Amino acid sequence: MSDLPTAFWVVAGVVLAYPVLCSVVLRMAEDTRLELADTGRALLQSPKVTEEQKYLITDMLADVFDWKFMAMASIALPMSILTSSYTRDFSEKEKQFLYRDDVKKFYRLHFRSVMAASPFFTVIFFIVAAILFLFVIAFIGWSMINLLWADTVKHATPSAGSNISLKATD
Amino acid sequence: MLSQSCKKYPAATIWPSTCILLVSNLLTYCRYTCVTGQLSTKIAILNLLVLGGLMWNFWKTCFLRLVTSITGLQAFSWLFGFFDEVSAFVRVHTLPVVSVVIIYLFIEYVAYDSTKRLKRSYTNRLKGASIRNLHKDALRIRPPTLRRSDKK
């Protein structure tokens, strides 16, 4: 055992520690997820939310355990900034919806929940975001961050979230 | 199908990622060829698999979901260059490697069980909510194909 290289112990340590870390982080985020479920349920019942928005909310509710979401967000975020789609893709009505307090809360809780589902890709996402923000934040401004994340979600969510089944009740 | 894919994922999101994957994969191939001085059929097949996977995923509108699996293939391809060293290492240190794999499987099992319980409590919380049919499921539905007998 003593002749094993240090690299082996490092790799073994990382490989063994990662599932434990994921499990602990998922457990720690349980309250956030349940709050997200409650907020999502309220939004789905709200008559002020359009059908299309309700589909997106359902998709987002299905994302919370999906480790792929943050991987996709790491690609979608720079694309959203580089193509400026976050300024183009939203109508005034959608912007009003995104700036509602309950919707902001829903997005915030969703962000925390999907972060907990994949610690590794969350780190990658933050590295990408940090690099981008260093160069671009001065031009975007903090007020646009909400739209930017909403656009990222819009692009990342369609292909995530398939590992839990939410059943339609109506 | 393709038009749905284009609506869901703007080309700006798809093609740069595709190009990065393909270029890095080809670089792996070139690196292997330069180091060993011979062409590797296995790596060429892996390249074809990556390319095929990309086209298939694009067609199936699941590109972004499966980028990670392709990246896994990519990682495997990189690993392939060091395959001899890795297999020699495993032969020499069989016991510690097997121990780590068994411990890993055990931890994965415990983590899977814990995650399953968390998922159950989450889906229970959402019971009764007016969930819409998921977009993803809607996208997966194929139009009914005309059977040969129907054409007549």
Residue A9 lies in a domain: no
> How far is it, in rounded angstroms, from Cα A154 to Cα A98?
12
What is the pLDDT at residue A83? Answer: 76
The dihedrals phi and psi of A5, each to the nearest 5 degrees, come to: -70, 155
Q: Is B134 on the interface with A (CB under 8 A)?
A: yes
Residue A77 lies in a domain: yes
A38: confidence class by pLDDT, cuts 50, 70, 90: very high
> How far is it, in rounded angstroms, from Cα A105 to Cα B111?
29
Collect all residues of chain A within an 8 Å Cβ-Cβ radius of residue B9: 155, 158-159
Provide the domain count of chain B: 1
What does the mean pLDDT of chain B come to?
62
What is the pLDDT at residue B137? Answer: 47
| Angle at A67 (CA atoms; ends A154, A60), nearest 5 degrees | 35
Tell me whether residues A75 and B63 touch, CB distance under 8 A: no
> How far is it, in rounded angstroms, from Cα A64 to Cα B47?
33
**Closest residue by Cα to residue A63 from A115, A23, A104, A129:** A115
> How far is it, in rounded angstroms, from Cα B99 to Cα B93?
10
Determine what percent of chain A is predicted with pLDDT higher than 70: 83
Is the pLDDT confidence value at B4 over 50? no
Residue A86 lies in a domain: yes
Give mean pLDDT, residues A2-25.
Answer: 85
A109: confidence class by pLDDT, cuts 50, 70, 90: very high
Interface predicted TM-score (ipTM) over 0.90 = no
> How far is it, in rounded angstroms, from Cα A150 to Cα B69?
25
Provide the domain count of chain A: 1
| A86-90 contacts at long range (C-beta below 8 A, 24 or more positions apart) | A86/A144, A86/A147, A86/A148, A86/A150, A86/A151, A86/A152, A87/A144, A87/A147, A89/A151, A89/A154, A90/A147, A90/A150, A90/A151
Q: Is B141 on the interface with A (CB under 8 A)?
A: no
Residue A66 lies in a domain: yes
Structural domain boundaries, residue B66 = 2-151
The answer to which of A36-40, A41-45, B15-19, B144-148 has the lowest mean pLDDT is B144-148
pLDDT in tens, B21-66: 666 666 666 666 666 666 566 666 666 666 666 655 554 444 444 4
The two three-digit tokens of residue B36, written as one number: 């060993």
Residue A109 lies in a domain: yes
Structural domain boundaries, residue A139 = 30-159
Q: Is A70 on the interface with B (CB under 8 A)?
A: no
pLDDT in tens, A23-33: 999 999 999 99
Give the residue on B whose Cα is nearest the Cα of A160.
B65
The two three-digit tokens of residue B31, written as one number: 């690196």
Residue A55 lies in a domain: yes
More confident residue, A116 or B36: A116
